[in-house]
Chain A
Amino acid sequence: MRLLFSLMALGLLMASPLHAQPSADARRQLVQAVAREELVPRYTTLAAAMAAQEAAWTGFCATPTKAGSTGVQAAFQQAADAWSGVEFILYGPISRDYRFERMAHWPERNNAVGRGVQALLARSGDDLSPERFASVSAASQGLTALERLLFDGNAPDLYFATGEAATRRCAVSSAIAAGLARTSSQVLAEWTGPNGALAALETADAPAIDEALTRLVTDHITSLEIIYDKKLSAVLGKTQAEVRPTLAEGWRSGLSMRAIIINLEAIAALTRALAPPPSGAGASVGAALETAHHVAATLPPDIGRTAADPKQRPRLILLRDAVRSARDLAELSLPDALGVIIGFNSRDGD
């Protein structure tokens, strides 16, 4: 099936006329357009969703009610969706001050999130002020930690118990939500501010523009690699006996497939921005992403359960292969179409 996908996409690639690589001026305009029209709007959405989530927690913790818990869960979903729409970008201010690591912490290693959250819950006092909270383990500061607090086991009920533990749980959750909102608004401000990253692109020299373009293409291809490898293959296992449902991103909140769908939509949008029509490369990668999206959209929300279900598992394998062929195609065509070279010490190091 993978071969078929690749051949279909290659057919598209070869049917399109070859286009000259963009000139230096065109590259600057391209990078600026991608940043202005693709990246900044996503960080705007992210900052808004995180601010709304922070507000939801403030309200909920003032009077924890069942209805309120549904509200913070909905706010979490909006926030997680916004993050899924931009998590594949490492280029730019998100990479400063370990912000990327503080937004979410997945895949989780060595139970770092679980231990970090437990340690936070066990402590007391004024350790949740913005200044002090920013220095706790990054694993406990992000959406992954908040998901655990809000969705793990009988988690929502723990907010309604009377006493210190419930109050503390709400305070920790609020601190995480506030931190996420603060980080997101900082990223947005550093993109759009007077001396921000967007303004810097106006005056950046050619190597800096080339690096931006290279990094964006790298982020594009890497994101597909992560979906293929970490989000799908790791959960699927080599055989049905080796399914690992708890390796799925967002398995506690039931958002694992939804996150992939949003990822694919965002990567498709980035593809259109980087290689707009009539780019053959853009069209073929876009078609491959559409195939993957089409398969993903028909699958149930819980990847782990789907992987273990003999009836559904082949569809998930189909999705994995579709993502992989989109990645292969992107790697084959995008760098060349954009005139950049991509190194992957990260993938095939030694």
Chain B
Amino acid sequence: MEIDRRSFLAALGAAIAGKARPQRASAATAEPLYVSACLDADNKAAVAVFSLDGSLRFTTALPERGHDTSIRPLSADLIVFARRPGDWAAVIDRRTGSVLQVITAPPGRHFYGHGVFSADGTLLYATENLIATGEGVLGVYDAAAAYRRIGEMPSFGTGPHDIAFLPNRQHMVVANGGIRTNPQTGREILNQDQMDPSLVVVDPATGKALMKIELGAGLRGLSIRHLAVSSGGETVFGCQYTGEASDMPMLVGTMKPDGTTRFLGMPEDDLDAFRNYVGSVSLDAAERIVAATSPIGNTVGFWDLESGRFLGRRRMSDVCGVAPAPADGVFLVTSGNSGIRMAPVVDTALRRLGGTDLDRWVWDNHVRLLSPSARPRGA
């Protein structure tokens, strides 16, 4: 069904106008805050910012489910992307929750749910689908000019999903999931036998690909979807397997700056627990531990980044979002049905975060650490 753009955008405006609900006076603080898309008890979509004591700073209503968020450096802007195949992204003041603006994908394109800012916060790059051809595109939006779309470049693959800057802040790595979809057929995979997943390093200054890594014919069905980049330049990638259910490929890997890739191995029982699906990946605060979640397998697993050694897994119902906790070796994990917990690598028990506020929400796929302080917009 074709979405009527005008009525949809009107609904978006109506849904978010004045709907921010600050839960307490916000103040510049060094306290770590996290942001995630979520659903409330009435199945209404929102984005929420919360602190580690379990209290909500604000929730802002969204017209439909959000996916990932992107934080604009040197500004208070927080972008929430619609879940694919949505065609909107909301710009939200991350101190108050008020909606500053709505960005829409141009006609014939939709967002994939992820985006990233340039180091100076002036440009936003979003993964998009050129619907007519199924080509992956990185849309470029000028944050300083009301997020006007000022250009685009190829993602050098089909179905780009997550995107991140490498530590030099000059080059970006894109996870091309390799899956072609069309909004008219929803999330159905249209190219199961011709999937072409890849990791591509792009120079946004020239729009050229510097490197393209493919996993090979045997892993054609292994869709590369989510990324976490260490300050040393190693890219962690998490995959979802769409091929035969009886196969069991490795699901988490890393790529060094020179393009050398490896999979992070694990014993077969542990791999089985992931059920061929990784929903999110993250590095801990010290960037020594990799975490990957599987909501299908109700599992979060850990690896030592340097040695690649598997450090074990924990069970948590419907776990998907994962982000570094302030302490080394600890992750914050979110779930669609069991709230938010702290997951220390050294302990099998996951500690419930907060008690009341956070339990009332269904947490969507991704959670992100907001930097502890945010300068005012335009400062």
B-binding residues in A (CB < 8 A): 90-91, 95, 98, 101, 105, 107-112, 137-139, 205, 207, 210-211, 214-215, 218, 234, 247, 339, 341-346, 348-350
Contacts and interface: CB of A to CB of B under 8 A. Distances in A.
B269 A138 contact: yes
A210 B248 contact: no
B272 A112 contact: yes
A234 B339 CA distance: 32
**Lowest 5 A-B CB distances belong to which pairs?**
A343-B336, A343-B362, A345-B295, A345-B320, A110-B248
B269 A139 contact: yes
B296 A349 contact: yes
Nearest to B177: A350
Contacts, number: 111
B257 to A, nearest CB: 27
Contacts of A112: 248, 268, 272
B139 to A, nearest CB: 18
A90 B298 contact: yes
A207 B279 contact: no
B248 A207 contact: no
Contacts of A342: 336-337, 362
Nearest to A107: B245
B362 A207 contact: no
Interface residues of B, number: 46
Contacts of A350: 67, 83-84, 113, 161, 225, 279, 365
Contacts of A108: 246
B362 A205 contact: no
8 contacts: A98-B273, A207-B355, A211-B337, A215-B338, A341-B41, A341-B361, A343-B364, A349-B365
A111 to B, nearest CB: 8
Contact of B279 (A105, A214, A349): A349
B248 A95 contact: no
Contact of B39 (A98, A138, A234, A343): A343
A289 B238 CA distance: 38
Contacts of A247: 245-246
Contacts of A111: 246
B13 to A, nearest CB: 25
Given A90-B298, A107-B245, A350-B83, A344 B336 contact: yes
B40 interface: yes
A164 B364 CA distance: 55
Interface in B70-117: 83-84, 113
Contact of A95 (B43, B315, B363): B315
Contacts of B161: 350
A107 B248 CA distance: 12
B54 to A, nearest CB: 10
Given A112-B272, A211-B338, A343-B337, 4 more contacts: A111-B246, A345-B318, A345-B363, A346-B295
Contacts of A211: 337-339, 359
A348 B187 CA distance: 9
B355 A215 contact: no
Given A95-B315, A110-B247, A218-B318, A346 B298 contact: yes
A43 to B, nearest CB: 18
Contacts of B365: 345, 349-350
Contacts of B362: 341-343
B186 to A, nearest CB: 10
